[in-house]
Amino acid sequence: SKDSAALTALRRLVDGPLAPLALDPGSKGVLASARSLLAEWAAVGGEMDAYAAKSILEDPFIAGEVDPWPGFDAFQWLSGLTDRIRLLGQGPRPGKAHVSGLDGGHSGRPVAFVMGVNDLVIPGGDRQDPALLDVERARISPLLPLASELGGGNEAKLRRLIARKRGKVFLSHSRLDLSRDREMYAADPIHELARHSGKTIRAVAFLPGTRDMRSSAAELWLDALAAGPPRFPAREAMLNLFPGLVAGEIAAAARTSGRFTAYDGWAPEAGGIPESLSPTQLETLLANPQEYFFRWVLGIALPDRSGPPPGGWLSAADRGSLMHEVFHDFQQTLMSRGERADFALHAALLDKTLEARLRRWRDLHPPENAALYELERRDLAECARVFLHSESEFQKTAKPAYLEAAFGMEGRSAPWNGGLPATLALPSGRSVRLRGRLDRVDVSDGSGGLVIWDYKTGSPAGFSTADPFKGGKLQAALYAVALKSFFPGAEGAVSASGYFFPIPEAGGRRFLYPASALSGVVAIVDVLAGLLEEGVFPYSLKQRASRGYAPIFDAAGGAERLSAQASLKASAAAGPDILRQWLEL
């Protein structure tokens, strides 16, 4: 039976790939036989083999498109074909060694190194999907791949890879998984080969064995470090090799010196008071002058993180804008009627106003589903009720006079300023022009003084009834002095300014400060204007830490270190005099 099977195989071989040689024993017949052998008999083990076979079959000689010339040696031409063929867009590389993974290709090198033959790769069938185990996958469909079958696939890849190689093949594996910080082991095929060959698995280091084997500057450094402390000026050599480190050395030395330098925030070229300033800009300048420098001098924009929370419809900023619109529309309607807020009389009007604004926002920013919209609507309706309860009591002694009165910016302009900025004269002789928008200005029944309100829809945790400047808050005071500048002849024109929190969490809490308690903002603004005028932007943690630009500050040494260095230099009068004044704020 064995002889019969051998004869059958021989007949198939003669009738198949050897048949062209019987018709033409020359070069043309050899090429035709090679074509038949590749197209009909050669085993294709994966995408790489299929691509290689296709590339060879498309050769003009193999395809029969070009006839060989007299004297053409087909066998010699075929033996060199693997050195000329291009796989995956790349031809053979110079040299005798080839480094490959399990899906590697080139087979003509006398030495090949196969990397990554670890136990997690072969067998590798122990990593099941935790969401869908193999047992569950098999129940769902026989077409789903199973983790238990993956190892066999990798082992088959390795066997096909070795079968393609010529010369010597070295299998290697990593001793340590750096990403997981765990020890790794050789796969079974490596142990199997070691047993059959009588050889041992050897550990190989990256460092060259002798100095004459150094192949790069990196190996020179590793070799020198492994041998002990460097015997040459390593620091100077590093600075010469990496010029960028020189700038870092200069910056680090300047920051740790006793002088206030450009690396601490002194930029006279950027000095100058802008055309106008907003409360947000001045509060940022007070909290951290370097943050102001990055944001408004260099123009480094912060990433936009103002989106809605997970599972929400509106962002915090959008909620605030919507409620400001509702309060404005509601108060404007009451002012046109000559009425003051009364919960019993105007609850329905406020609900109607809220619904109208909600419909507009829903059309512009559709929610993901009706449930999200309804949840947001309930929360905003509760805010509106808190607002009306508080206003019903407060408007018994005061009535709204101006809504969203803007100065120095686009918007509704109050009749007493024409939209121009408010000019604030400072004790040093400097002056600044303020811009802003007042949410509401009331007139007190008793004194006739003006009371400024700014609606807040965030948390009142950082506010204090005793200290209007707690946490570096300047807005209420700036609005008071700005409005007062429009009434120079009437000292009592502005009687108070404050913040109103019409949200359930705050229970409609108000923080109202008399004008006399806010006059200290002028001295604060004077020092801040001095910083701008002289281009002095030190780092500060006096009020709050800067979060948006934290990566920049971290690269320069960290928040605590930068703040300590700036405070030390300011206290030692190591820079302009305005730096010491800033420290005393």
Write the pLDDT tens digit of every residue in 457-480. Answer: 989 988 999 999 998 999 999 999
- Measure CA 369 to chain center: 29
Q: Are 333 and 350 in contact (CB under 8 A)?
A: no
pLDDT digits (tens, 9 = 90+) for 437-451: 999 999 999 888 999
**CA dist 292 → 137, 285, 435 (Å):** 57, 5, 17
Q: Is the predicted pLDDT of residue 496 greater than 80, yes or no? A: yes
pTM of the shown model = 0.61
Question: Which of 84, 77, 60, 65 lies closest to 26 in space, CA to CA?
Answer: 77
| pLDDT given at position 439 | 93
Range of lowest pLDDT (253-257, 291-295, 323-327): 253-257
pLDDT digits (tens, 9 = 90+) for 393-415: 999 999 999 898 888 886 555 66
Question: Which of 484, 393, 496, 504 lies closest to 447 in space, CA to CA?
Answer: 496
Range of lowest pLDDT (109-113, 227-231, 569-573): 227-231
Residue 547 pLDDT level (bands cut at 50, 70, 90): low
Report phi then psi at 527, rounded to 5: -65, -40
Element at 323 (helix H, strand E):
helix 316-337
Question: Which of 475, 434, 471, 422 lies closest to 452 in space, CA to CA?
Answer: 475
How far is the C-alpha of 279 from the C-alpha of 424, rounded, in Å?
Answer: 13
Higher pLDDT, 349 or 43: 349
Higher pLDDT, 504 or 156: 504
| pLDDT given at position 174 | 84
Q: Which residues touch 430 (CB under 8 Å, ≥6 apart)?
A: 273, 526, 529, 530, 533
The percentage of the chain sitting over the pLDDT mark of 70, rounded to a whole number, equals 83
| pLDDT given at position 2 | 60
pLDDT digits (tens, 9 = 90+) for 161-198: 777 777 888 888 888 776 667 788 888 888 888 888 77
The percentage of the chain sitting over the pLDDT mark of 90, rounded to a whole number, equals 36
